[in-house]
A and B are shown apart, each in its own frame.
Chain A
Amino acid sequence: MPLWWPLLLASVLFAIGVYGVLARRNAILVLMGVELMLNAVNINLVAFDAYFRDVLHSGQTLALFIIVIAAAEIGLALAIVLMVFRTHGHIDVDDLRELADRDAV
């Protein structure tokens, strides 16, 4: 299997993830975009690991780390989303602008 197949797949997934993060209004879908980007990186790592026939399999090890961190991150992020929903009644990131620099009312 040539190397560019998994690289192409990873690129496509990463691009979709970036689009999801930048363009979706629903916070859950934004998080899904983040997951897509992380996993695109994972594919890259595994693909290069196989390609270079690394004896220590450092690519696969790093992919495992990322999976763990992604799980922790999504747990924290969903908790935040839940809190946002409780306080605001919605999870539309376009309307969450409390941190904007405005004139004091």
Chain B
Amino acid sequence: MKWVVLTMLLLPFATAVVTLWAGHRSEVATKFLAVSGSLATFGLACVVAFPQLGHADPLVVTYTRTDSISPAIGLAANVDQLSAVMVLLAASVSFLVQLYSVGYLHDDPRYPSYAALVSLFSGSMLTVVVADDLWMLLVGWELMGACSYFLIAHHWELAEARAGAVKAFLMTRLADLGLLFAILLIGERTGSYRISQVTTILSNWDTSLPALLIVIAVIGKSAQFPLHSWLPDAMPGPTPISALIHAATMVAAGVFLVARMYPIFDADALTLLGVVAAITMLVSAFYALVTNDLKRVLAWSTVSQLAYMFGALAVGAWSAAVLHLLAHGAFKALLFLGAGSVVHAVGGRTSMTAMGGLRERIPDTFVTMTVGFGALAGVIPLVGFFSKDAIVHAGFDEAKHHEILDQPVAWVIFGAMVLTAALTVAYSMRAWLRVFFGPVDPDVEVHESPLTMRVPLYLLTAATVFGGLVFADPSRILGERAEEDLFHGSTAILMTALVAAVAGLVVFLWVRYDGADPWPPPVEELQPPEDHIYDLVLVRPIGALARAVVINDRDVVDAYADGAGASARGLGWVLRLAQNGSVQAYLMVVVVGAAAIAVAAGVLS
């Protein structure tokens, strides 16, 4: 088993290299290699993960470690229940994305590099979730940042794609510093970089500062307030990539890291996490409500749902958060792949004004995306309903009993959760109605997607519909870390009533405005005001500083160097005047000089 884990980690990287090598030599071979490589990874992931689910002991192995430095850095894996489910999620979504991309990018000239980067991306995510050594985790963590940069900039001829990629890279890198310092601090304080050791020797060391630093790291990685605006701007990337980033890798890694290091989080770190999550889930839900671009709506909803998970972690509902992460992985991958199918159908446009009435023209996509939107909104009996329910109930419990957080903070988080649940229903309904109902634009030529794109949709739909069964007995998956019962009838009834009420309101508005946008946003495409603040506070001063440095370099530093050169040149010009080639002139100097010395000697003596 030990070597199966290592093979599973290395296979995606090998696939990436081989895919790149095959490249443009043979299109069929490249596609075959990319898909079969990720399928093999998925197979290995199943072999690794299934024995670890439920009441199993974590598989902790050390392959090699440095003996020369202390604390030792090692190549070590730790597959517990959390790792196992994350391995399954990452490998399965990566495989589906690879399969889907064969159809979605069938005539893209940059397909080989794209497929290689997707493999690399999934390999990095697997490294993160399996790693037991914090430095190994950091390697995967940073590799994911680089991969997302490259993939967001896949259409690098578009200015917005380049800008989005740079923004994503800068914001996540900024926050990654938090993780780096956290790792250094943990090593300093515990004498170990092994997660399995660090999380079990709690009584001996002060965990508060490392935990706060990890919160900072996940704020960047998972696009939480105030670094939340990179995720919607990453939308110019290909749609399958959005599915990969939002469902299984990258942003999910932030939630995973908090879940993994959960024992070291104390009340301070959890309060910060909870407050950030409460702000993020509300703000991004409001953005999703007034955004016109279908993919950006989904992106904002991801930010909001990630905040939901962080909120759950903050109120102590560890297993509810992890299960919501899994559920979200399934239905958000479904939604994004469905959105890709819609975009593909209407010829590459992503604005919802270009869509409408697609219900009968792309029926497969309609059914699957309806399930996805339903799960996002929390419609019974889809998987999103159960996981959201468990979180809201845990939030209410914490607000009532305040075992971890201060009571006002817990109430704020709970209030944000309920309000966000209502807003989620509203924006899901709006997007669903505007895409699939309403007036049909007869000029738009619509065609259903190829089979390679529809099969992943069916599979994810199945996962979304039947995923709720997990909540019957969560300990079958998460073992003893699962809370007793995650389903609560009272919360379920209240939440269903909330969903129904909001959905009814949206439908009422929709009918009343005759199939137009129920609440047309005041501006065409809303740019978050935070971006203006960052622009004003950070980007412009730094730009001005950079220009000042350029001026200083050019006009001050260079002036000294240029001056030294010019003065040497001038002196040389004066001296070369003497070298005029006339021997008699030279001799004249000698004679006159000798005479002058003689006279001087005579006068002075």
Contact = CB atoms under 8 A, between A and B. Distances in A.
Contacts of A97: 580-582
Nearest to A97: B581
B576 interface: yes
A68 interface: no
A97 B347 CA distance: 81
Interface string A20-43: 011100000010000000000000
B1 interface: no
B579 interface: yes
B579 A94 contact: no
Contact of B587 (A22, A99, A100, A101): A22
Contacts of B584: 21-23, 30, 93-94
A98 B583 contact: no
A60 to B, nearest CB: 27
A101 B582 contact: no
Chain B interface, DSSP helix/strand/loop, else mixed: helix
A18 interface: yes
B539 interface: no
B580 A21 contact: no
B197 to A, nearest CB: 73
Contacts of B587: 21-22
A100 B583 contact: no
Interface string A78-98: 000000000000000110111
Interface in B551-594: 576, 579-584, 587-588, 591
A29 to B, nearest CB: 12
A21 B582 CA distance: 12
Contact of A18 (B576, B580, B582, B591): B591
A62 B579 CA distance: 36
A103 to B, nearest CB: 9
A100 B587 CA distance: 15
A101 B576 contact: yes
B590 to A, nearest CB: 10
B580 A22 contact: no
B579 A101 contact: yes
Interface residues of B, number: 10
Contacts of A22: 584, 587-588, 591
Contacts, number: 28
Interface in B489-524: none
Contacts of A30: 584
Interface string B238-274: 0000000000000000000000000000000000000
B588 A99 contact: no
Contacts of A100: 579-582
Interface string B364-377: 00000000000000
A25 B556 CA distance: 53
Contacts of A101: 576, 579, 581
Nearest to B583: A93
A35 to B, nearest CB: 16
B602 to A, nearest CB: 16
A46 B88 CA distance: 117
Contact of A99 (B576, B581, B591): B581
A61 to B, nearest CB: 27
A98 B591 contact: no
A96 B586 CA distance: 13
A98 B588 contact: no
A103 B310 CA distance: 75
Interface string B331-374: 00000000000000000000000000000000000000000000
B113 to A, nearest CB: 51
Nearest to A24: B584
Interface in B259-312: none
B580 to A, nearest CB: 5
A90 B225 CA distance: 92
Nearest to A23: B584
Interface in B102-128: none
A98 B580 CA distance: 9
A99 B587 CA distance: 15
A30 B587 CA distance: 12
B361 to A, nearest CB: 78
A101 B587 CA distance: 17
Contact of A94 (B576, B582, B588, B591): B582
Contacts of A98: 581
A81 to B, nearest CB: 13
Most buried by A among B581, B588, B591: B581
A94 B587 CA distance: 13
B577 to A, nearest CB: 9
Contacts of B588: 22
Nearest to B576: A101
A93 B588 CA distance: 14
Nearest to A25: B584
A80 B579 CA distance: 22
Nearest to A21: B587
Nearest to A30: B584
A23 B582 CA distance: 11
A18 B584 CA distance: 11
B578 to A, nearest CB: 9
A87 B576 CA distance: 27
28 contacts: A18-B591, A21-B584, A21-B587, A22-B584, A22-B587, A22-B588, A22-B591, A23-B584, A30-B584, A93-B582, A93-B583, A93-B584, A94-B582, A94-B584, A96-B581, A96-B583, A97-B580, A97-B581, A97-B582, A98-B581, A99-B581, A100-B579, A100-B580, A100-B581, A100-B582, A101-B576, A101-B579, A101-B581
Q: Which 8 pairs show the lowest CB-CB distances between chains A and B?
A: A100-B581, A97-B581, A101-B579, A101-B576, A99-B581, A100-B580, A22-B588, A22-B584
Given A21-B584, A97-B580, 7 more contacts: A22-B588, A93-B583, A94-B582, A94-B584, A98-B581, A101-B576, A101-B581
Interface of B: 576, 579-584, 587-588, 591
